[in-house]
Every structure is written in structure tokens, then in C-alpha cells.
Amino acid sequence: MPPEVPPTPVSALTIAGSDSGGGAGIQADLRTFAAHGVHGLSAIAALTAQHTRGVTAVHVPPVEFLRAQVDACFDDFQVGAVKLGMLANARVIHAVADALEAHAPRYLVLDPVMVATSGARLLEEEALEAMRARLVPRADLLTPNIPEAELLAGMRIGDAADAARALDRLRGMGCRAVLLKGGHLDEGDVVVDRYADDAGVATFRHPRLDLEGHGTGCTLAAAVAANLCRGLAMPAAAEAAIAYVGRALRQGIRPGRGTVLVLDHFGAAPR
């Protein structure tokens, strides 16, 4: 008898930027997928020359090549969830949106990478508008940090009441759920991440760690996508992803000369 063919596993696809230093972007996403036992696919939307001390150069491949990467993934794999990260300009955003409309993935997790750790804005106004119009309404989960939420929602977020209003405003832009990361908001010795969907609002509180991590936002969104591929419902996928990032940060390493930690993905893997 012929050998039994194993079932086709569900894969997670990241469409994001490559980090030559290995701490964030595509590299962090693929490690996160692997740590969760999920096969990882990638479509590189930008290439960065960077390390633990900063970014020295960025190259954006032609959007036709980006579309070819996305099409190749959907042509051959069972894609359970797509995670979006760094999308450098409006042309890239429109190309990704067109591809998603053509392939209609089951889940879309959008990490709206718009503000660098230094506070510098990464997206021009045209690209921000394209993200609002083409990607946010399609997202099953939007995962902004506070500065990104301020840009998307067009409001200042200075306290818990502002964060609650921002959740409502972001949900009103069409996404199915929002996970507003609270690391940039001063709420004492805790970090409060706020989740909202049609069923209501949940808060996830965890101790504020005196650590600076590289790739935490990328990893969080990728972990949500991986958990969705594993069959978790969205709120549970978000909660598990937050816990995973916390473990990976506490066990992080410093492989470069910079002070930031690179996350320990496999040491933090769910058991």
C-alpha cells in the first residue's frame, strides 16, 4: 500500500520588511511562527540594513515582485492567516491590498508600522491615507501602539480615557477588532493592553519590565496570526500572544553591541 499522505498543515504568511540584524520584521515573524509550530511563509515588502543600534538603509523592491511573492504563497499553501508589517509607501500598500482582495485570506492581522522607536514618523500622509482606506477596514485585528493609534485615529492619547476613545474611533474605521498596545502610555508600574471587538472590551495588565526589546510589535502580531492558525479565537489568540512576548522579552539576549534585547522566541514557545 502507498504511504499515508499527512494532512496539509495550515501556514501563516508575513508580508513585511526584512531585518538584516535578525531581531524584527520578517525574521522575527518566521521565528514566532516556528515557535508556535506553524509553517511560515514570507513576502518581503522592504529590505532594511539594520542592527541593534538602528537602520542604515532601506530598499523597496518593485511592487510587481512583491505581488509575485504573495501569489506564489497562495498558489501552493493553505494560508490560515496573514500578518502585515512594514509597508513602506502608498504603492506598496495598494499592491498588498489588491493581492488580499484577490486571495481573501481567512484572517488578516495588521501591525501598522508607522513610527520608529526614536519617534520618527515612517509613513508619509499619502501612505497613511492608503492604509486607512485599503487595509484597516479589511483587518480582522489591528495592533497599533500608542503613537500609531494617534496617527490613525487623528487624536492625542494621554491617559486611559483617551485610550478608550481611541479604541472606539479605530473600531469605527471598519476593522473587526483592535489590540491597542499600552507600552507608551504611563499607567504606573503596569502596562495595560486594551482589546475591543463586537463582544466588548477586555484589558490585559502585566508588569512593566525595565527592558527595551527589539521586534516586540512584530512578534506580537505574528504570534496572534500563529495562534489563529492553531485554532484559537481572536481574543484568546491576542491574550496568548501578549503572554508569549512577555516571556520572550524576559528571556531576551543581546547579540549585538546595542542595548536592546532580541527576543528569545524558542525559549518562550508555548508548551
Given a contact cutoff of 8 angstroms between Cβ atoms, the answer to whether 12 and 83 are in contact is yes
Nearest to 148 by CA among 118, 121, 177, 169: 121
Does residue 174 lie within any of the structural domains? Answer: yes
Task: Evaluate if pTM is beyond 0.85.
Answer: yes
In terms of residue numbers, what domain contains 218? Answer: 10-262
Q: Look at the block and give the residue holding cell 519617534.
A: 119
CA distance 28 to 217: 10
Residue 164: pLDDT band with limits 50, 70, 90: very high
Query: What residues pair up with 196 in beta bridges, in sequence order?
Result: 178, 201
Domain containing 98 — which CATH number? Answer: 3.40.1190.20
The mean pLDDT value of the chain amounts to 90
Q: Which string of DSSP letters, residue by residue, matches 46-94?
A: EEEEEETTEEEEEE---HHHHHHHHHHHHHHSEEEEEEE----SHHHHH
pLDDT tens column, 231-265: 999 999 999 999 999 998 888 889 888 888 888 89
Does residue 270 lie within any of the structural domains? Answer: no
CA distance 202 to 193: 9
* Number of domains making up the chain: 1
Does residue 223 lie within any of the structural domains? Answer: yes
CA distance 109 to 223: 10
Does residue 269 lie within any of the structural domains? Answer: no
